[in-house]
């Protein structure tokens, strides 16, 4: 998933930043004034302008770090009611969206995987299976990151692979396995491969990135499903976008190892020996690891088969329940609770999970998602989304479909370089939904590519937590990341647009020029 550390290291106390707090207020005032130029088709435009101002304030605090992320994400819950934008009961619905419980349950399961080092074993086996030459090592780390981040946090994936990657990089440098020039290229390519693989994998499943969860929220596509839109099931998303993860991963690997940081193809015996030693040190799989793996596998199986596969009905229908009566969040929470019940097999009476471990899920990301949902719902209810959409709708309606979608995708991709992808998705989804209505196109044409594009952002250390984690190792420079990342931003935006028209839209039954009956 984009953006969540499973635990936060202790550090110095968070500082009060008066200048940044005041800057947020100034941005909010400027946004309120600028919103006066918008054409509001509502009875109370002042309410919509206040919604925009509060959104600008929260977004500024998200970007600047004026407040801790979780604290800034609680501001909508207070300010929307205080400034008569939305009653608190309405705002609170965003903080109880069912998608949040999918997030919660998934992270508890991820904590169980991490608790018994199962993630480390999986990563090492994937790497060993790929091969141990310099280019293959980069591919191994990138593939391991992509596969694991399809199911757990991309930040957690990066954090678990980063120490192994740094150890390999340092060993290669210390032992002179490669000459100095190739050793440095290897270091940069391998570490960027971990960061980029963690980001790429998250787009392949609905639970792989919080931006995907924003799409499924009740204030975005979830609301359209309630109005009759077809559900995008776990399997449909997997079929539509997992191939994109594969295509982008291969492209990134080739770009890193053949173009940006060319590497030799010969076998690296020192790195090979270290990885084998690392895997051997883990010993045989313990009972707790086997049980966590079984629980996680059962959860993934329940997610995948809930809505059926092809002509086969899902298990929900087979037990006689309505198809949409058991959301993925309920499955995640139930399986997470089971982790507190299933014995670990360690002989001390412990379970696979305890509350002390589970409570260290990234609550700041939980509240960031919740605040994003509340903002999206309020912008829509106040009429602000429609006003924004009117400025974008003419371009979407008049441009060639490929160019129109390219404009949306590239805009979201570049915005994700300077803001958290969850914030970008939360802010853009209601605008694009209203744009689709004004431009008279299927909303999925804009929402789905924008959701995926919000997970991109390869150039800046602040763009994604994986970038931040890797940059903090000190093994690469800002120039390394920016030069590689900007190429990927534009290339991946183009790949995404082409892929949507060639594969994802046909798989999901979406036509650009068609307005479905449920959206009229």
pLDDT tens, position by position, 9-40: 444 456 778 899 999 999 999 999 999 888 78
In a 10 Å sphere around its CB, with 0-12 CB exposed, 13-18 middle and 19+ buried, how is residue 266 labelled? exposed
The DSSP code sequence of 430-462 is: HHHHHHHHHHTS-HHHHHHHHHHHTT---S-TT
Give the pLDDT confidence score for residue 4 in this predicted structure: 38
- pLDDT interval class at 251 (50, 70, 90): very high
| DSSP H helices in 255-354 | 269-282, 287-305, 315-318, 328-339
CA angle, corner 420, sides to 418 and 423, nearest 5? 115
Give the pLDDT confidence score for residue 420 in this predicted structure: 64
Phi and psi at 342, nearest 5°, equal -70, 125
Lowest-confidence segment of 63-77, 121-135, 293-307 by average pLDDT:
121-135
In 341-466, which ranges are E strands?
Answer: none
Other CB atoms within 10 A of residue 294 CB: 11
Does the pLDDT of residue 513 top 70, yes or no? no
The structure tokens listed for 323 are 């198809």
Per-residue pLDDT, averaged over 29-55, amounts to 90
- pLDDT interval class at 310 (50, 70, 90): low
Mean pLDDT of all residues belonging to the chain: 84
Q: Name the 3-class secondary structure at 161.
A: helix
Lowest-confidence segment of 8-17, 102-111, 149-158, 293-302 by average pLDDT:
8-17
Does the pLDDT of residue 53 top 90, yes or no? yes
Phi and psi at 511, nearest 5°, equal -120, 135
Torsion from C-alpha of 241, 242, 245, 246, nearest 10 degrees: -130
Which has more pLDDT, 466 or 393?
Answer: 466
Give the pLDDT confidence score for residue 323 in this predicted structure: 65
pLDDT tens-digit readout, 200-233: 999 998 878 878 888 888 678 888 888 888 988 8
Give the pLDDT confidence score for residue 81 in this predicted structure: 96
Residues 358-386 as b or e (16 or more Cβ within 10 Å = b): beebbbbbbbbbbbbbbbbbbbbbbbbbb
Instruction: Give dist(CA 53, CA 57) in Å, integer.
Output: 6
Per-residue pLDDT, averaged over 476-496, amounts to 92
- pLDDT interval class at 184 (50, 70, 90): very high
The DSSP code sequence of 175-212 is: HTSS-HHHHHHHHHHHHHHHHHHHHHHGGGSTTS-HHH
Lowest-confidence segment of 85-94, 104-113, 194-203, 236-245 by average pLDDT:
104-113
Per-residue pLDDT, averaged over 339-364, amounts to 89
Diameter over CA atoms, the chain: 72
- pLDDT interval class at 324 (50, 70, 90): low
Instruction: Give dist(CA 127, CA 144) in Å, integer.
Output: 6
The DSSP code sequence of 115-153 is: HTTHHHHHHHHHHHHH--SHHHHHHHHHHHHHHHHTTS-
Does the pLDDT of residue 311 top 70, yes or no? no
Contacts of 9 (CB under 8 A, 6+ apart): none
Give the pLDDT confidence score for residue 11 in this predicted structure: 43
Give the pLDDT confidence score for residue 268 in this predicted structure: 54
**Residue percentage of the chain with pLDDT more than 70:** 89
Q: Which pTM was predicted? A: 0.68
Q: Name the 3-class secondary structure at 351.
A: strand
Which has more pLDDT, 239 or 70?
Answer: 239
pLDDT tens-digit readout, 380-412: 788 887 777 677 677 777 777 788 889 889 988
Q: Name the 3-class secondary structure at 339.
A: helix
Lowest-confidence segment of 58-62, 258-262, 372-376 by average pLDDT:
372-376
Does the pLDDT of residue 308 top 70, yes or no? no
Does the pLDDT of residue 442 top 70, yes or no? yes
The structure tokens listed for 111 are 């904590």
Which has more pLDDT, 248 or 171?
Answer: 248
């Amino acid at each position: 998933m984009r953006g969540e550390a499973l635990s936060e290291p202790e550090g110095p106390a968070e500082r009060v930043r008066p200048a940044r707090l005041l800057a947020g207020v100034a941005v909010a005032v400027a946004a309120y004034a600028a919103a006066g130029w918008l054409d509001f088709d509502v009875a109370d435009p002042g309410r919509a302008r206040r919604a925009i101002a509060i959104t600008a304030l929260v977004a500024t605090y998200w970007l600047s770090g004026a407040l801790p992320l979780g604290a800034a994400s609680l501001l909508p819950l207070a300010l929307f009611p205080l400034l008569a934008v939305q009653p608190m009961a309405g705002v609170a619905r965003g903080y109880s969206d069912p998608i949040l419980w999918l997030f919660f349950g998934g992270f508890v399961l991820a904590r169980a995987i991490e608790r018994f080092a199962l993630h480390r074993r999986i990563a090492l086996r994937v790497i060993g299976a790929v091969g141990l030459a310099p280019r293959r090592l980069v591919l191994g780390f990138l593939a391991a990151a992509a596969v694991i981040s399809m199911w757990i946090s991309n930040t957690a994936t990066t954090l678990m692979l980063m120490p192994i990657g740094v150890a390999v990089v340092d060993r290669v440098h210390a032992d002179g396995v490669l000459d100095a020039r190739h050793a440095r290229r290897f270091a940069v390519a391998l570490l960027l491969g971990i960061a980029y693989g963690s980001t790429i994998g998250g787009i392949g499943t609905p639970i792989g990135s919080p931006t995907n969860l924003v799409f499924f929220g009740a204030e975005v596509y979830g609301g359209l499903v309630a109005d009759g839109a077809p559900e995008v099931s776990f399997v449909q998303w997997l079929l539509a976008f997992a191939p994109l993860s594969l295509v982008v991963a291969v492209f990134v690997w080739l770009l890193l190892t053949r173009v940006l940081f060319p590497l030799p193809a010969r076998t690296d015996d020192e790195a090979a020996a270290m990885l084998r030693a690392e895997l051997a040190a883990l010993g045989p799989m313990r009972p707790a690891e086997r049980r966590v793996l079984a629980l996680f596998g059962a959860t993934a199986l329940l997610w995948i088969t809930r809505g059926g596969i092809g002509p086969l009905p899902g298990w929900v229908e087979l037990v006689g329940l309505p198809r949409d009566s058991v959301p993925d969040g309920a499955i995640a929470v139930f399986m997470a609770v089971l982790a507190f019940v299933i014995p670990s097999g360690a002989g001390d009476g412990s379970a696979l999970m305890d509350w002390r471990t589970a409570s260290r899920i990234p609550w700041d990301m939980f509240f960031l998602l919740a605040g994003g949902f509340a903002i999206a719902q309020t912008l829509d209810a106040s009429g602000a989304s429609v006003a924004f959409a009117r400025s974008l709708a003419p371009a979407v309606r008049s441009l060639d479909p490929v160019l129109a979608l390219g404009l949306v995708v590239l805009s979201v991709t570049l915005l994700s370089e300077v803001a958290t992808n969850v914030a970008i998705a939360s802010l853009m989804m209601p605008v694009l939904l209203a744009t689709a209505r004004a431009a008279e196109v299927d909303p999925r044409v804009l929402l789905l590519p924008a959701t995926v594009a919000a997970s991109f952002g390869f150039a800046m250390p602040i763009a994604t937590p994986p970038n931040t984690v890797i940059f903090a190792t000190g093994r690469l420079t800002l120039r390394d990341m920016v030069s590689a990342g900007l190429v990927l931003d534009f290339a991946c935006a183009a790949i995404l647009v082409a892929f949507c028209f060639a594969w994802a839209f046909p798989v999901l039954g979406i036509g650009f020029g068609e307005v479905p009956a449920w959206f009229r």
